[in-house]
Amino acid sequence: MTTDAGIIGQAGLQFFGKMSASISHDIKNVLAVINENAGLLEDLCGMAERGKPMDPLRLKRLAGDVKDQIRRGDRIVTVMNRFAHSADEACMDVDLTEMLDLLAALALRFAAARGVQLQVNRPEGSVKVATSPFLLLNLMWLCLDGAMAAAGQGRTVELSAVYAADGVLLRLRRIEGLKDAAEGLLPTDARTALCRALQAQVSIDGDRSEMTVQLPGKRA
Amino acid sequence: MAEKVLIVDDDKAFLAILAERMQNRGMEVSTAESAAAALQLLENESFDAVLLDLMMPEMGGIEALQIMRRKQPEVQVIFLTGHPSVSKGVEAMKLGAMDFIPKPVDMNELTEKIKQAKASRMILVEKRTQEKIKKILTDKSW
């Protein structure tokens, strides 16, 4: 019999692997553009050596393009760093809107592949809860992956966090195809084990096109 | 004659700079930011080589390759990808891709592959033309 710990471990590794592969793809793309910029610089030098004057404005643009890619790479690595550190503590105070921002950033490539937009809605103040950030991210990824599959191309899925009467609610809304989505939208074993570990409850409301994850906790 | 190349990639920065470098090498380059846009271009034009990104929004490279091969059986597709995996590479080659090159790209290697693609395409086009002529000759009673 597989234990919850075993299921969570496996689901966590799969999640970490999937995100790491996606991030490495993004970094490779940045490196590819920088590589082409360096290559173009070599081409221009070669042409200058053969007597074609070098255009300073073209060089300035080239430098600007490299800087743009460095900024893009820095954003990717910042997301990767935040994701890696989410596994540091078994339990800590988590700002849920910040966590949803991280989730949306991690899911961006997967959303784009499905033609889905992600929008994180911000509450007026911060919504915090003491929980395991990595396990919660994993559970939210499973929900979001299912939500994106159900929503379909051209849709926008909204993510938000709010305080509820006896805890917090993480909401995925405007999942248009949720009502018609097939059973098994979320992997049952991983969802059940993660919910038990987090004391969370996942609800799927097809009529309201909404998925919610409820977590216990006091208002900070 | 200049090689005629279509580059398909959702990364605009990559698309623009790769196109410029290839134009500097005397190639005739068209670009498309999506598989759908590339398929549209292929309706009216043919290319010596199509450089295709593997992972793109809405329609990925593998699906695009299948459609391209149906539209133009002699099309020579070279995959460029930041996400190289053996299984994807094998799948692409089985579906008729000419090659599978990881990003960042080595321009000399790529230029060589494009020349090979042009040569392969010319052989296929010539073969098809000969088959058509043969068919006409056998079908018609002179």
3-state secondary structure of A22: helix
- Answer yes or no: are the C-beta atoms of A121 and A146 closer than 8 Å: no
> In the predicted model, is pLDDT for residue A218 greater than 80?
no
- pLDDT-based confidence at residue A220 (cuts at 50, 70, 90): low
Residues on chain A touching B103 (C-beta within 8 angstroms): 28-29, 31-32, 35
Average pLDDT over residues A34-43: 95
Compute the distance between CA of residue A159 and CA of residue A210 in angstroms, rounded to an integer: 10
Kindly report, residue by residue over B108-130, the tens digit of the pLDDT.
999 999 999 999 988 888 888 88
ipTM of the complex model: 0.81
Distances, alpha carbon A128 to alpha carbons A94, A140, A163, A170, A220, in Å: 5, 15, 8, 11, 6
Secondary structure (3-state) at B85 = coil
Does residue B107 contact residue A37 with C-beta atoms inside 8 Å? Answer: no
A65 has a chain B CB within 8 A of its CB: yes
CB distance B24–A43 less than 8 Å?
yes
Which of A25, A37, A65 lies closest to B82 in CB terms? A25
pLDDT of A179 reads: 82
> pLDDT, tens digit, for every residue of A140-156?
999 999 999 999 889 99
Cis amide prior to B104 (ω within 30 degrees): yes
Question: Which whole number is the average pLDDT over A172-180?
Answer: 88
Q: Does A132 touch chain B (CB under 8 A)?
A: no
Among A151, A154, A27, CA closest to A78:
A27
Interior/surface letters A110-123, b for 16+ CB within 10 angstroms, e for the rest: bbbbbebbbebeee
Question: Which CATH code of 3.40.50.300, 2.60.120.460, 3.30.565.10, 3.30.300.30 fits the domain covering A92-216?
Answer: 3.30.565.10
- Choose among A32, A34, A37: nearest Cβ to B82: A32
* Overall domain count for chain B: 1
Q: How far, in Å, CA of B74 to CA of B69, rounded?
A: 7
* A135 min Cα distance to partner chain B (Å): 27
Residues of B with CB under 8 A from a CB of A: 10-11, 13-14, 17-18, 20-21, 24, 55-58, 60, 82-83, 102-105, 107
Q: pLDDT category, B136, cuts 50, 70, 90?
A: confident
A156 in contact with B, Cβ within 8 Å? no
Answer whether B104 sits within 8 Å of A40, measured CB to CB. Answer: no
Say if the Cβ atoms of B60 and A113 lie within 8 Å: yes
Average pLDDT, whole number, for chain B? Answer: 90
pLDDT at residue number A74: 97
Residue B91, pLDDT > 90, answer no
Residue B84 sits in which domain range? 4-139
Q: Kindly list the residues from chain B whose CB atom is less than 8 angstroms away from the CB atom of residue A71.
A: none
Q: Is A93's pLDDT higher than 70?
A: yes
- B interface mutation test: which of A27, A31, A33, A47 has the most B CBs within 10 A? A33
H/E element holding A120? strand A117-120
Q: What is the CATH number of the domain that holds B9?
A: 3.40.50.2300
- Across residues A27-45, what is the average pLDDT? 94
Put simply, the answer to whether A39 touches B21 (Cβ < 8 Å) is yes
3-state SS, residue A208? coil
